[in-house]
Each structure stands twice: as C-alpha cells, then as structure tokens.
C-alpha cells in the first residue's frame, strides 16, 4: 500500500510563521465521563483494558482510575477470557493471544451498566524494515523514520504506527489510509511533532494493522491534534456513550538507531 | 350631475388628445469622454412637465420613451460632470454621450442633485455598488487594493477571517457567493491561501453586489452575487498605468484598436518571488518559492451601430515550492466571448459563450514514493439575455443559459508505481440550465416592483458509477451509467420579488422575497484556507441546496444628498445543507458522499449603514447584528448549533478625508465578535496521548477581533502639460498592533505533558506598506 498522507499533512506544510502566545481561555468543565481503552494483539502482548475518567482541562493529567469493574473478552469461537485488575484501573490477561481473522468482543460491567465493543483482527503484511530520511517537508534538517512493509493486494488495509523514542512514547497518533492495491512495497513516514531526532536516538516503531472502526477513531484523534477540522469527539466503537476505543490488531516491531 | 359629465368629457377629450401624440424612443450609449469607457448605471433623465429616467445597463446602453415634444435631457454619473441639453423629440433618436470625468478638473464640482435619490426609488434592495475611485483610497494589507476586502467593510458581508478572502453574506458559507468576472464564474477568488483576492482593481470598471433581492437573471448560488465588470479599454489613446508595491508590481496597458470603435486592455500583476518566504516554514532544502500572478485581457470592437463584440480573459496562478519534496500550484482561467445586438431601439440582446476553469495540483515525495493530486472544475456556458424596454414604466428581462460542468474531484495518483492501481476517483458530469423572466414595473409614482421567476434544472450525467448508501455510510447499491445518460434531474422554480414604496421623496420602505437554488456544493471539512476544494454537483444522494430569504428595509437620504441611511432586516431559511461525519475523508475518496450529513439552517439579522457621500470627509459607519445556526442529523444530537461563521456584532467605520489637492488620508476600524468555535470541556488519555474532550458544537466564542488601518495618498503635482502623473500610497495595517487570534489550539505543555495549555496564534501587526503608482 502506498500511504498517502491525508490532506492534514499537506495543510500543515502551509502553516504560516506568526506570533504564538500561551493564553488563558475560559472553558466550560464537563462532569467527568467514563473512558475505556482496550486492546488485543497477535504478538503475545497481554490483552489490556484501562478504565478511567476525564479530568478538567486545567488539571494535571492524573486521571481517576476506575476499580472493580468486571472485564471480559470473548472471541467468535466462544472462548472467554477474564481480565484481572493488575493495577488501579488496568485489567489484563496474559493468556489471550489474538489470531488474524478472529473477532473479539469486549464486555465491561460497571455500576450495573454494561459497555460492549467488537473488533476484528485484519490481515497483515510483513514489516520489512525501517529507514531514516530527511523530512524536507517538516522543519529544516529534521529526520524521520519510514516504516517499510509490503501492501496486501486490495483496499482497506489501514495501519497505525506507535512510535517510541528513547523509551518514551511520542504522544502522537499516526494512521494511514489504504489507497492503493498494488501489493508492492511502501513506506509510511512517521512525523515526530516537536521532537527533533538526533544521532544516537533509539526509535522503536510498532506497526499495527487495524480494522475500519479503529482506523476512523484514531483518525479522529489525529485530526484533533492537527487542528484543521472542527473538533469533535472521535466515534468510539464502544457502546454506552463512553469515550475511548477497543482495538484488536496485528503487531510487529522494529527498532533503529539514528546514524 | 351635469358638472360631472362635463368634467368627464373634458378629461376624456384631453386624454384622447394626449393619445394622439406619438411616442418615440430615445436610446444610446453613455461613455467616459476621455477614454470611451462605457458607464454602467449612469442616470439618464428626460424632463418637461413630467419626468422619466432610466439607468444605463451593463454595456452603457439606455432606452427611454417620450412623446413628441421638447425636453431637457440630463445625463449624470458619480465622479463625472453632469451633461444637460435641450432636445427635440420628433422621431426615434440615438445619442452617444461622453461625460467628463471630474478627476481631470482641478475644481471640485457639486454632485448633481437629480440622481442622488435614485437609491430611494429603485425597487431593488440588498444591492451595493463599489465605487472604484473610493476603493483606491481605502488602506488594505500590504498596500494591495482589493475589491473583496473592501466589500467586507460593508454591513452584510463578513470577512471569513484574517488571511481569508472568502466572505459570509447573511450567514451563508463562503461557497454560496457567485463571483462573476465578465459573466464567468471564478471558483476560487483568492491568492496565497486567502490573503489576497484574484481581482486586479486596475482592470475593473464596476462591481455590483447583491446580498438579497437577487433579480431572476442570476442564479446558482444561495447567498450573494458579486458581478464584476472589466474595463473595456481606452478607445481614444494609449494609456499606461501601474505601480510598484511592497510585495507586488502591476501594469495596465490600454489602447484603441480603431479609435472610437474598438479597444483593448491588458493588466498584469505579480508578487516578488521571495516576498512571502519569510511567512512559511523554512525547510532549508533546495529551491523555495511562493508567488502568484494575474493577467486580465479584454478586447472589444463595434462592428456596426447596433453590434458590438467583446472578448475577455483572465489567467491567474499561485505556486508554492518547498525544495524537491513538495510543490503545489493552483489557479483560475476564464474567457468570455460576447455579442451585443440592439433590435430596434428598445430591445437589447446579449449573447455570451463563457469558459471557466479552476484547478490545482499537488506533488509530494516521501522517500522514493511520489504521489500527485490533480483536481479541476471546468464549465462551458452558453447564455442569452434580452433586455426589453417596453415603456418608461415597464421593462422586461428574459433569457436563459446552459452550463456544462466537468469536475475531477481530486484523485490521488502514485507516480512511482510497482503495479496495481490507486483507488480511482471518477469525474463528474452535469448540465445546469435555466430560463428566467423578470418584470420591472413602476406601478404608481410611489410604488415600484420587480417580480420574476427563474426555472432552473440540474441534470446529472454519466459516464460513471453512482452509489446508494445506508445510514452508516456503507454502499448498498452501485449503478453504472453510460456517457451522456441522465442519472437524476432536479427541477426548481425560484420566484424573485422585490418592491419599493416611497414614503416621502427622500425615504422609502422596501421588501423582498427570493428563492435561490445551488447545485454545486463545496465539499470540505478543513477549517484552513488551503485551495484544495472539492466541488461536487448534486447527485442521487446530494440534493440541491435551497434558500428562501425575506427582507424588509428602510432607506432615507438627507436633503442635499450628503447622507444616506439604510437599515435592513432579513430572515433566511436554508434546506439541504451539508456537513461531515467525524474523521471524514474527503480528498481522493470516490465515496465521499458516504461521509456527508444533511440538515437545515437559518440566519437572521439586522444591518444598518450611515454613509456620507460628499464633502472633503466621506465614508460610512456600518453595523450588523446577526445569528446563523445549523441543524444537522448526526451532529450535536440533531439540535440547532451555531454555524462557524456566526458572529453577533460586526462594526465597520471607514473614513476618507481630502486634506488638500495632493494629500488624502483614510482610516478604517473594524470590530467583530469572535466566530463560534468548539473548545475543550475536559481531557483524557487515549492511544498514549492527551485527548481533549468536546461537547456542544460551536458552543464557545473566539475573542473579539478589532483593528485599525491607516492610509495616505500623495498625488504628485499635476502638470497639465505632461501626460505623466504619479502618486504614492502609504498604509499601516493593524496600526495599534492588536493580537487578534488567527487560531487558538490546545496542546500538552512542551516541558510538562501533564499540563495542558491554550496557544493563540496571531498574524499581522503594524504592517506598513508603500506603493508608487504611475500613469501615462
């Protein structure tokens, strides 16, 4: 698949230099809402669900963790996996390893209410390698990583990349939309936001093939960060009017050191 | 009883005596005596015991009826010396009258009092004319005169934002304005991401703008018509003028082809290649450039006394290159071929063939992958208009047109392919046609009405695949149509009505009702000013947008015509409005229709303007109070929400002062409530980052926007012996440096991701400009 950067990336090139100032804005504070984030992958990482609440804008990010929820994942073959609370608000199961093609069904029971979601692990392509290139479209002299993989023939193979730089997550969202059906090799270049990569930096890229609902959710998150569309909460694939998402995806990881 | 009979007999007798007098037609063309340029909207007045008056049409032509006799004929136009003569009418007569421009006289002359109250009587409402001479004195950003920016200083036309030459008229979206240059629609009237418009004012003769009360000869957009007419060119001698400015230079050459029969005009403008590079992010790699240019061309020739031919064209382009990894360019091309013919003395005909094209290209290189985007909208239009002066009280306009639209909505193509194919995006074809009739009637001395009907049709044509979707946006059916086959047709009737009732000689009450239909939809969910528009015609899924507008207004002029006051209130109901699903993918998506949501809108408001037209100090104060809301199924729980362009208060104050014969100064001050925006109401963590929480769509407000611009013009000493004249224009944009918010974004604090902050970005403050202008 050729990963066409969405319009967003093009628009960010045309940002004008200007005056920036941190200001105080009077914001309405919504009463805290429930956030559920869950994931299952095929690489042996534990299935994990994190349940928390939203905080007000001016607060520090120590979100309230929700304890004592009943969390369960079942697959379409009838297997049931219970997730135990291993730390406050985090529920895991180390025996569940996802399989490509299977549909996983999440169920969270909390305070008498039930929240459910489904996600199917899509097919994947092999992550070939990572390469370092100059990001001439970004700021001068910036480097960025291209994630190289072979695209399956056909459309709809959307991907997400999770980037970790020197052990810390980059706190950005990177998704790409499958526009090409060639089956050839393609490279998805990962932006680094305000972080400037330098010689010796260790960069880990995790390539995930995600289903359509998860792609749209993460694209919604990416749009919020880019600021070129009217802000809206991304469409969660979890029922019950909650925030967050449930993703069953493939996972492959490679690491590179910036030369 | 006998008395009554006698009276009736006398009255009858007199009437029949009056009927015996034959009626003749006086017609002709009014021009500028110095250049031969026709004057649009000049007032021709015929008076003896009664008076009759009319205005010249878009080609300077007028036609007026009078019974046999001797009359005083008076021709006047703003900026020109009124010409009065006594004429004998005993047969049909034609007049070609040249008016002297006041500019060449050193003495100031008082404005003719006969036409200054024409705005009171005319039934047309919601129309504004831009005075080109006045416009040249108004300071704008970087010294580039801009008709669209000047238009936004008048109530009812709101700027869509700094660095955005789009505008919102009575709550309408920026794509709801029909911008015509010599009858050709200009699809993207902005340069440089919205900082400048594509109109070089050196080439423009007349700008008439309708925000309500649109006459039946216009159609295709919901909110306004900006009808821009290019100059025809000097028919008498060679004219060269131009200017060197801070960021661009321009030149305008005009000359006769055959003296008094034909002329041409050529205008060109270009920005300096690196004038804007400081504005964009420096990539430090390879060649960079950011510039635009415009060329306006027009030629006209009078084939016979009754026939005139015109050919006009516009070509403009913007280009941005960042090293060898990114380049983009976009622009408009228009061409119009017109034939005016006068049948007899009262029927004026105009036949036009019009071409219009807007396209953009993007090329991006990622590693060894390169991809390209190409998109265009291209129109071929045949138009026929008749203007029939039935009598002095009754004018009929009728005609029709048919436009063929071809749209390539923006396919993404990979230039280095290793086989396979990119997801295709089909071209879209449609024919938009209309027939109209409009009657302008002076029903009584006090009451004038214009009523008309426009019948419009959009036929969606193959070749192509057409999809049906379920509520979630999944395809449920695909039907294939061959080339030229009609997929679906939308027929609409658009009634237009407006009336003016004179309360006194100096004041009137007006009312209007219009229905407008728009079949070309701008599909974009981006809030920025990039030119990557996707235009789609109505389809089996997208219905025509419809607007019904009701307006009433009160008009008053002061005694000597020095002041003009207008106050209008309007209500507009909008149907079939388009919005987008969350995370909608617009570009490169053949199924973009699955990303659309539909609903209604409503806009209402009050506009007031007080204008001082004469004296050394001229200008106006405008105020608008308004609201515009949308109601879209799937957004904001289906409740009404503020449209992004909703801004409660809008104030503009413009003043121009002639200090002496050489110096004039001007100032503009604008104040607006901020746009309706969506701000966070909380935050949470997802996908390893802070995600902000939102609730009501557009439930918050940007801070208020205000700024002061100052300008001054210095004319070089006029030497009557030399033809050469020059002047300097100075300006300061945002003279008190208010940091107006261009964007407000929310992000994690760079040093402490646990904290969140709001960042305001402002663009221009204290921007000075100097332009040197010359004229031969």
The answer to whether A223 and A183 have CB atoms below 8 angstroms apart is no
Q: What is the pLDDT, as a whole number, of residue A7? A: 43
Q: Would you say residue B412 has pLDDT above 90?
A: no
Q: Stretch B597-609: mean pLDDT, rounded?
A: 97
Q: Stretch B381-392: mean pLDDT, rounded?
A: 94
Which range of A235-244, B47-56, B143-152 scores highest in mean pLDDT? It is A235-244
Q: What is the pLDDT, as a whole number, of residue B4? A: 44
Q: Which residue has the higher pLDDT, B612 or B246?
A: B612
Q: How many CB atoms lie within 10 A of CB B738?
A: 13
Among the listed ranges A135-139, B446-450, B460-464, which one has the minimum average pLDDT value? A135-139
The answer to whether A47 and A93 have CB atoms below 8 angstroms apart is yes
d(CA B743, CA B262): 50
Among the listed ranges A42-46, A52-56, B193-197, which one has the minimum average pLDDT value? B193-197
* pLDDT tens digits along A189-210: 898 888 889 999 999 999 999 9
Interface test with B, best of A10, A153, A212 (most B CBs within 10 A): A10
Q: Would you say residue B492 has pLDDT above 80?
A: yes
Q: What is the pLDDT, as a whole number, of residue B115? A: 52
- DSSP output for B476-526: EEEEEE-TT-EEEEEEEEEEEEEEEEEEETTEEEEEEEEEEEE-EEEE--B
Q: What is the pLDDT, as a whole number, of residue B17? A: 44
Smallest Cα–Cα separation from B318: which of B197, B456, B437, B430? B197
CA distance readout (Å), B397 to B45, B172, B384? 21, 27, 11
Interface test with B, best of A2, A216, A218, A242 (most B CBs within 10 A): A2
* pLDDT tens digits along B259-295: 888 999 999 999 886 666 665 655 555 677 889 999 9
Q: What is the pLDDT, as a whole number, of residue A102? A: 95
- DSSP output for B133-166: HHHTTS--GGG---HHHHHTTSTTEEE-STT---
The mean predicted confidence, pLDDT, of chain A is 88
Nearest by CB to B532, from A7, A194, A233: name it: A7
Nearest by CB to B682, from A57, A182, A244: name it: A57
Q: What is the pLDDT, as a whole number, of residue A220? A: 95
Q: What's the number of CA atoms in the CB half-sphere (13 Å) around residue B686? A: 32
Q: What is the pLDDT, as a whole number, of residue A213? A: 95
Q: Would you say residue B738 has pLDDT above 60?
A: yes
Subunit contact A57:B683, Cβ cutoff 8 A: yes
d(CA B555, CA A67): 69
* pLDDT tens digits along B646-672: 999 999 999 999 999 889 999 999 999
Res. B147 pLDDT band, cuts 50 70 90: confident
The answer to whether B551 and B572 have CB atoms below 8 angstroms apart is no
Q: What is the pLDDT, as a whole number, of residue A139? A: 56
The DSSP bridge partners found for residue B630 are B601, B641
Question: pLDDT over 70 for what percent of chain B?
Answer: 91
Q: Stretch B75-95: mean pLDDT, rounded?
A: 89
Q: What is the pLDDT, as a whole number, of residue B491? A: 97
Res. A180 pLDDT band, cuts 50 70 90: low
The answer to whether B773 and B745 have CB atoms below 8 angstroms apart is no
Name residues whose C-beta falls within 8 Å of residue A128's C-beta, 6 or more positions apart in sequence: A148, A149, A150, A185
The answer to whether B160 and B193 have CB atoms below 8 angstroms apart is no
Structure tokens at B727: 């002047």
Nearest by CB to A29, from B681, B698, B765: name it: B681
What strands lie across the sheet with B43-47, from one edge to the other?
B51-55, B43-47, B69-76, B83-89
Q: Would you say residue A8 has pLDDT above 50?
A: no
- DSSP output for A177-221: EE-B----EEEEEE--TT----TT-EEEEEEEEE-HHHHHHHHHH
Smallest Cα–Cα separation from A190: which of A150, A247, A130? A130
CB interface of A with B, residues 57-76, below 8 Å? 57-63
Where is A226: in which H helix or E strand?
Answer: helix A212-226
The mean predicted confidence, pLDDT, of chain B is 87
Where is B372: in which H helix or E strand?
Answer: strand B369-391
Measured between beta carbons, which residues in chain B are less than 8 angstroms from residue A143? none
Q: Classify the C-alpha dihedral B142-B146-B149-B150 as positive or negative.
A: positive
Smallest Cα–Cα separation from B166: which of B531, B480, B523? B531
d(CA B59, CA B40): 6
The DSSP bridge partners found for residue A26 are none
The answer to whether B435 and B601 have CB atoms below 8 angstroms apart is no
Structure tokens at B534: 């996707």
Size of interface A-B (CB pairs under 8 A): 266
Q: Stretch B120-138: mean pLDDT, rounded?
A: 74
Q: Stretch A118-142: mean pLDDT, rounded?
A: 84
Res. B541 pLDDT band, cuts 50 70 90: very high
C-alpha B173: how far from its chain's center?
Answer: 13
- Three-state DSSP at B336 gives strand
Res. B476 pLDDT band, cuts 50 70 90: very high
Res. B614 pLDDT band, cuts 50 70 90: confident
The DSSP bridge partners found for residue B543 are none
Q: What is the pLDDT, as a whole number, of residue A181? A: 60
d(CA B547, CA B602): 9
Measured between beta carbons, which residues in chain B are less than 8 angstroms from residue A225? 689, 747
Res. B163 pLDDT band, cuts 50 70 90: low
- Distance separating the N- and C-terminal Cα atoms of chain A: 27
Res. B323 pLDDT band, cuts 50 70 90: confident
- Three-state DSSP at A56 gives coil
* pLDDT tens digits along B211-243: 988 899 999 999 999 999 999 999 999 999 998
Q: What is the pLDDT, as a whole number, of residue B272? A: 83
Is B472 in CB contact (< 8 Å) with chain A?
Answer: no
Q: Stretch A149-160: mean pLDDT, rounded?
A: 83
Among the listed ranges B12-21, B345-354, B574-583, B621-630, which one has the minimum average pLDDT value? B12-21
Q: What is the 3-state secondary structure (H, E, C) of chain A?
A: CCEECCHHHHHHHCCECCEEEEECCCCCCCCCCEEEEEEEECCCCCEEEEEEECECCCCCCCCCECCCCEEEEEECCCCEEEEEEEECCEEEECCCCCCCCCEEEEEEEECCEEEEEEEECCCCCCEEEEEEEECCCCCCCCEEEEEEEECCCCCCCEEEEEEEECCEECCCCEEEEECECCCCEEEEEECCCCCCCCCCCEEEEEEEEECHHHHHHHHHHHHHHHCCECCCCCCCCECCCCEEEEEEECCEEEEEECC
Identify the burial level of B627 via C-beta atoms within 10 angstroms of its C-beta, where 0-12 means exposed, 13-18 middle and 19 or more buried: middle
Nearest by CB to A182, from B419, B586, B685: name it: B419
Structure tokens at B384: 């026929």
CB interface of B with A, residues 593-652, below 8 Å? 635, 644
Q: What is the pTM of this model?
A: 0.90
Q: What's the number of CA atoms in the CB half-sphere (13 Å) around residue B673? A: 16
Q: What is the pLDDT, as a whole number, of residue B113? A: 39
Length of chain B (residues): 776
d(CA B137, CA B159): 19
| Residue listed under structure tokens 């034959």 | B22
Identify the burial level of B213 via C-beta atoms within 10 angstroms of its C-beta, where 0-12 means exposed, 13-18 middle and 19 or more buried: buried
Q: Stretch B36-62: mean pLDDT, rounded?
A: 88
A108-138: burial string, b at 16+ Cβ within 10 Å, e else: bebeeeebebbbbbbebbebbebebbbbbbb
Q: Would you say residue B628 has pLDDT above 80?
A: yes
Q: Which residue has the higher pLDDT, B245 or B356?
A: B356
Question: pLDDT over 90 for what percent of chain A?
Answer: 69
Q: Stretch B117-136: mean pLDDT, rounded?
A: 74
Q: Would you say residue A3 has pLDDT above 70?
A: no
Where is B232: in which H helix or E strand?
Answer: none
CB interface of A with B, residues 113-172, below 8 Å? 131, 133-134, 136-141, 146, 153, 155, 162, 169, 171-172
């Amino acid at each position: 698949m050729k990963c066409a950067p969405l319009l967003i990336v093009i628009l960010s090139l045309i940002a004008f230099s200007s005056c920036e100032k941190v200001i105080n804005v009077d914001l309405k504070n919504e009463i805290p809402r429930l956030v559920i984030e869950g994931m299952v992958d095929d690489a042996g990482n534990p299935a994990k669900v994190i349940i928390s609440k939203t905080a007000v804008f001016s607060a520090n990010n120590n979100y309230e963790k929700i304890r004592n929820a009943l969390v369960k994942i079942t697959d379409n073959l009838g297997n049931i996996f219970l997730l135990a609370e291993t730390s406050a608000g985090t529920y895991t199961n180390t025996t569940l390893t996802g399989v490509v093609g299977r549909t996983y069904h999440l169920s969270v029971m909390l305070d008498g209410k039930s929240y459910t979601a489904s996600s199917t692990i899509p097919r994947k392509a092999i992550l070939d390698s990572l390469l370092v290139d100059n990001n001439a479209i970004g700021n001068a002299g910036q480097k960025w990583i291209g994630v190289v993989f072979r695209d399956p023939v056909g459309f709809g193979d959307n991907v997400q990349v999770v980037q970790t730089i020197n052990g810390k997550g980059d706190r950005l969202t990177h998704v790409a939309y499958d526009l090409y059906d060639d089956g050839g090799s393609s490279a998805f270049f990962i932006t680094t936001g305000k972080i400037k990569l330098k010689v010796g930096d260790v960069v880990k890229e995790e390539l995930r093939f995600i289903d359509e609902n998860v792609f749209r959710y993460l694209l919604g998150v990416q749009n919020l960060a880019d600021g070129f569309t009217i802000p809206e909460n991304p469409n969660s694939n979890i029922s019950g009017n909650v925030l967050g998402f449930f993703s069953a995806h493939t996972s492959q990881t490679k690491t590179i050191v910036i030369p | 009883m006998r008395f009554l009979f006698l009276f009736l007999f006398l009255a009858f007798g007199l009437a029949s005596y009056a009927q015996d007098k034959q009626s003749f037609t006086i017609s002709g063309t009014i021009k500028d005596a110095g250049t031969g340029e026709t004057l649009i909207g000049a007032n021709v007045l015929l008076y003896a015991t009664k008076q009759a008056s009319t205005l010249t049409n878009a080609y300077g032509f007028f036609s007026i009826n009078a019974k046999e006799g001797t009359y005083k004929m008076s021709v006047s136009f703003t900026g020109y010396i009124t010409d009065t003569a006594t004429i004998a009418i005993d047969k049909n007569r034609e007049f070609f009258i040249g008016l002297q421009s006041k500019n060449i006289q050193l003495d100031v002359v008082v404005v003719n009092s006969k036409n200054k109250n024409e705005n009171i009587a005319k039934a047309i409402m919601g129309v504004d004319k831009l005075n080109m001479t006045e416009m040249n004195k108004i300071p704008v950003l970087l010294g580039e005169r801009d008709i669209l920016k000047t238009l936004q200083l008048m109530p009812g036309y709101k700027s869509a934002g700094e660095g955005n030459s789009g505008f919102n008229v009575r709550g309408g979206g920026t794509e709801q304005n029909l911008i015509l240059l010599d009858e050709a629609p200009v699809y993207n009237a902005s340069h440089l991401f919205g900082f400048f418009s594509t109109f070089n004012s050196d080439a423009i003769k007349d700008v008439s703008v309708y925000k309500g009360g649109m006459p039946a000869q216009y159609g295709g957009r919901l909110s306004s018509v900006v009808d821009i007419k290019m100059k025809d060119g000097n028919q008498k001698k060679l004219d060269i003028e131009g200017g060197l400015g801070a960021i661009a230079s321009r030149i305008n050459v005009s000359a006769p082809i055959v003296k008094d029969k034909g002329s041409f005009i050529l205008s060109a403008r270009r920005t300096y290649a690196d004038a804007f590079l400081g504005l964009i992010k420096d990539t430090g790699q390879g060649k960079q450039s950011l510039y635009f240019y415009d060329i306006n061309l027009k030629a006209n020739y009078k084939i016979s006394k009754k026939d005139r031919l015109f050919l006009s064209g516009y070509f403009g382009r913007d280009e941005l290159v960042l090293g060898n990894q990114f380049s983009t360019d976009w622009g408009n091309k228009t061409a119009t071929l017109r034939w005016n013919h006068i049948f007899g003395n009262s029927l004026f005909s105009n036949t036009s063939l019009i071409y219009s094209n807007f396209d953009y290209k993007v090329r991006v290189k990622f590693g060894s992958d390169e991809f390209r985007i190409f998109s265009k909208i291209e129109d071929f239009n045949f138009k026929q208009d008749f203007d029939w002066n039935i009598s002095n009280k009754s004018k009929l306009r009728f005609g029709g047109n048919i436009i063929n639209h071809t749209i390539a909505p923006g396919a993404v193509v990979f230039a280095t392919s290793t086989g396979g194919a990119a997801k295709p995006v089909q071209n879209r074809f449609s024919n938009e046609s209309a027939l109209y009739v409009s009657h302008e009637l002076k029903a009584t001395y006090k009451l004038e009405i214009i009523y008309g009907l426009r019948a419009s049709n959009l036929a969606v044509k193959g070749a192509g695949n057409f999809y049906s979707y379920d509520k979630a946006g999944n395809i449920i059916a695909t039907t294939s149509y061959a080339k030229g086959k009609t997929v679906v047709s939308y027929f609409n009737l658009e009634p237009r009505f407006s009336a003016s009732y004179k309360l006194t000689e100096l004041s009137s009450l007006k009312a209007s009702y219009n229905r407008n239909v728009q079949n070309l939809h701008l599909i974009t969910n981006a809030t920025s000013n990039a030119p990557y528009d996707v235009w789609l015609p109505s389809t089996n899924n997208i219905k025509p947008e419809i607007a019904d507008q009701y307006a009433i207004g009160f008009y008053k002029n002061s005694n000597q015509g020095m002041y003009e006051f207008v106050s209008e209130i309007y209500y507009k109901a909008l149907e079939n409005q388009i919005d987008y699903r969350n995370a909608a993918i617009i570009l490169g998506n053949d199924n973009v229709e699955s990303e659309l949501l539909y609903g209604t809108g409503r806009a209402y408001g009050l506009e007031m303007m007080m204008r001082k037209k004469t004296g050394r100090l001229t200008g106006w104060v405008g105020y608008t109070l308004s609201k515009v809301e949308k109601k879209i199924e799937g957004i904001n729980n289906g409740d009404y929400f503020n449209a992004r362009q909703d801004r409660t208060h809008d104030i503009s104050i413009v003043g121009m002062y002639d200090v002496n014969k050489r110096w004039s100064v001007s100032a503009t001050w604008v104040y607006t409530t901020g746009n309706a925006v969506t701000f966070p109401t909380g935050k949470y963590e997802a996908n390893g980052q802070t995600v902000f929480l939102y609730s009501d769509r557009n439930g918050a407000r940007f801070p208020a926007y205000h700024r002061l611009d100052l300008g001054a013009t210095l004319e070089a000493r006029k030497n009557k012996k030399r033809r050469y004249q020059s002047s300097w224009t100075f300006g300061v944009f945002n003279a008190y440096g208010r940091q107006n918010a261009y964007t407000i974004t929310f992000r994690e604090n760079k040093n402490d991701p646990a904290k969140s902050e709001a960042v305001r970005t402002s663009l221009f403050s204290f921007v000075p400009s100097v332009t040197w202008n010359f004229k031969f």
